[in-house]
Amino acid sequence: MAVTTQQLIQWKQQGRSIVALTAWNYAIAQLLDAAGVDLILVGDSMAVVLGYETTLPITLEEMLFHAKSVRRGVKRALIVVDLPFLTYQESFQQAMHSAGLILKETGAQAVKLEGGYPAMVETIARLVQAGVPVMGHVGLTPQSVHQIGLRQQGKTQEAAERILNEAIALEQAGVFSIVLEHIPADLANLVTQKLSIPTIGIGAGPHCDGQVLVTSDVLGLSEKHPPFAKVYTNLRETITKAVENYAVEVRDRKFPQS
């Protein structure tokens, strides 16, 4: 049975941890879904897979293309798609247009927007009222990399209170879940306890209602990965070795065999 936004909320109430990973194409999405991942995020983090240095350059058209590919590979998991930088911040109308394209053209069930400042909370509230399921995202927000860097957020009391208040405001606006990225574990625990919707942590400690990582980090495909990621296998090494072996056999005329 397909996972729904309401099921995620029920799982929080039941104390069942939510498993989330990112995907950028059909093949990866199919594998994640078959392995039992609950939530697949078509994240703008795929910018790195596409060769960009940050998430900022990726376009809505690129997100649409990859989200369609992911959708074709998924039967069970809930699919959430990031809205890229400057495709939702200018106005509610822009956000509605971008979110509408994602839901109508890709078949994804929800979108994710970064930030919990008042204007963003208002935009999200209006999206939810219009029938768009929205996931929130506070703490380290990568689209603000040139403003806040990639360092841990919420380390001071003032910053921690701001993140907590943003999370509460987002819940009140109607988001069904919130990503907590790269914040202290005690702050993530406090936010998780305060909210009735699930928190999905990434670099936010063990107390969130679920965890998400970038799949290329998990599989060891990334050239570098954040300090909070765990590499479960080294596919860069495996793939490189396999290709080297293939190249040797072709050059030595051992492949194909007659």
* Positive or negative: CA dihedral 2, 214, 58, 182: positive
Q: Tell me if 249 is assigned to some domain.
A: no
Active site residue 171: no
Q: Tell me if 239 is assigned to some domain.
A: no
Q: Is 258 annotated as a binding residue?
A: no
Catalytic residue among 166, 181, 223, 237: 181
Beta strands 18-22 and 210-213 are: parallel
Q: Tell me if 222 is assigned to some domain.
A: yes
How do the pLDDT tens digits run along the chain, 258 residues long?
A: 899 999 999 999 999 999 999 999 999 999 999 999 999 999 999 998 899 999 999 999 999 999 999 999 999 999 999 999 999 999 999 999 999 999 999 999 999 999 999 999 999 999 999 999 999 999 999 999 889 988 999 999 999 999 999 999 999 999 999 999 999 999 999 999 999 999 999 999 999 999 999 999 999 999 888 999 999 999 999 999 999 999 999 999 999 997
* Positive or negative: CA dihedral 10, 11, 15, 18: negative
Q: Give dist(CA 47, CA 220) in Å, integer.
A: 17
Q: Tell me if 238 is assigned to some domain.
A: no
Query: Do you know the residue count of the chain?
Result: 258
How many structural domains are present in the chain?
Answer: 1
Q: Is 208 in contact with 192 (CB distance < 8 Å)?
A: yes
Tokens representing 196?
A: 């009735």
Tokens representing 254?
A: 């051992």
CATH number, domain of 43, equals: 3.20.20.60
Which domain, by its residues, includes 220?
5-233
H/E stretch holding 98 reads helix 92-106
User: Among candidates 110, 115, 100, 102, which has minimal Cα distance to 38?
Assistant: 110
pTM of the full predicted structure? Answer: 0.97
Q: Tell me if 168 is assigned to some domain.
A: yes
Q: Is 237 annotated as a binding residue?
A: no
Q: Is 44 annotated as a binding residue?
A: yes
Residue 128 main-chain phi, psi, to 5 deg? -65, -40
Q: Is 114 annotated as a binding residue?
A: yes
